[in-house]
Amino acid sequence: MWGIPIGQSPASGRGVGARLQPSALRIGRRCNHRLLRALRELGTFPPSTLHSRTGTKQNNVRAADFVVPGPGSVEIKYTPVHGEPVTYCVHNFKDGGGVALGMYNTDSSIRDFAHSSFQQALAKGWPLYMSTKNTILKKYDGRFKDIFQEIYENQYKAQFEAKGIWYEHRLIDDMVAQALKSEGGFVWACKNYDGDVQSDSIAQGYGSLGMMTSVLLCPDGKTVEAEAAHGTVTRHYRMHQQGKETSTNPIASIFAWTRGLSHRAKLDNNLELQTFCTLLEGVCVETIESGFMTKDLAACIKGLPNVQRSDYLNTFEFMDKLSENLSLKLVSHKL
């Protein structure tokens, strides 16, 4: 299950939207570039409290799916600890086989998801939208809707109103349409499959998967995991091993570190570390906006067939530029 924070400019209004902030990408675990080395040196936190890593997604729901080989009935049976079993007929296959799927979730998992979503919204100061298809999955998705509403009314409504934010349930198809046309500034709580699809869609829509942050928040609001949500960029790494030039976007990996360290700073009341994280994230955005970027972003601007070598920096040239700009920024802030 996912909570997708979608950023906006301070002037944006109430409407839900999708102006995603730039984020990060994995360069390779053995990279010894000085900028990443500096980030590692700052990350002196207990490993049991916070992890900064890439390439991991948590799936809170399991399913049993199978091919139905021929005619027959598919049923779901619930056997309570106390009481008589109840059997539900899913489908009677008459003319041939097909496929079937049995899926579940637990109330405790949904409640944890709800608390994490509400905590994220409070931390951001943004409204929260929960999307389901409860008009079709009346019981399954309806359970998500009911639990979220119950928890909001009993535990979070007063806090939300005090911050001038709100919670609202919407149908997933309506929510997707709203996200595409609005200006951002909200947290979007999605069931697992919906979030898996929509998070990548939003990230790519604003440039690249290498520009997407990912912070996993526990229900207590204190424990987080920051990661780069994309894969390991194996193709680029194999080219690097062969001595070939690559232009790999490092922003998501950098933001994985800054978001993790920023939370560490919050826990330790470490203003200097918090300032460093804010400055580094700002440097990443400013560097790209000033025209220095990797090939994936140049392709978004000119179209991949039209990109010339002079339009982008390779991996290490871009990292060097970030390092140069960060050094200037730190000096100007006397850090």
| pLDDT computed for residue 200 by the predictor | 78
What domain range includes position 159? 2-62+104-332
- 39 with 173, same domain: the answer is yes
- 235 with 169, same domain: the answer is yes
Give the residue ranges of the chain where pLDDT is below 70.
1-61, 206-207
Structure tokens given for 214: 């990912």
Whether this model's pTM surpasses 0.75: no
Burial class (CB in 10 A: 0-12, 13-18, 19+), 170: middle
Residues 6+ apart with CB under 8 A from 41: none
CATH number at 302 reads 3.40.718.10
- 21 with 89, same domain: the answer is no
- 42 with 130, same domain: the answer is yes
Nearest to 273 by CA among 284, 258, 286, 283: 258
- 98 with 117, same domain: the answer is no
- 82 with 172, same domain: the answer is no
- Report whether 226 contacts 26 (CB < 8 A): no
- 71 with 217, same domain: the answer is no
| pLDDT computed for residue 44 by the predictor | 30
Structure tokens given for 244: 């070939």
| pLDDT computed for residue 63 by the predictor | 83
- 67 with 166, same domain: the answer is no
- 85 with 207, same domain: the answer is no
- 164 with 188, same domain: the answer is yes
Rounded to an integer, what distance in angstroms lies between the CA atom of residue 31 and that of residue 29?
6
| pLDDT computed for residue 5 by the predictor | 55
Residue 173 annotated as lining a ligand binding site: yes
* The total number of structural domains that make up the chain: 2
| pLDDT computed for residue 184 by the predictor | 83
Q: Which residues of 274-309 are buried (b: 16+ CB within 10 A; e: fewer)?
A: bebbebbbebbeebbeeebbbbbbbbbeeeeeebee
- 143 with 209, same domain: the answer is yes
pLDDT in tens, 89-101: 999 999 899 999 9
| pLDDT computed for residue 294 by the predictor | 96
Give the domain-ending residue among 103, 126, 152: 103
| pLDDT computed for residue 113 by the predictor | 92
Residue 196 annotated as lining a ligand binding site: yes
Rounded to an integer, what distance in angstroms lies between the CA atom of residue 64 and that of residue 7?
36
- 80 with 179, same domain: the answer is no
| pLDDT computed for residue 49 by the predictor | 26
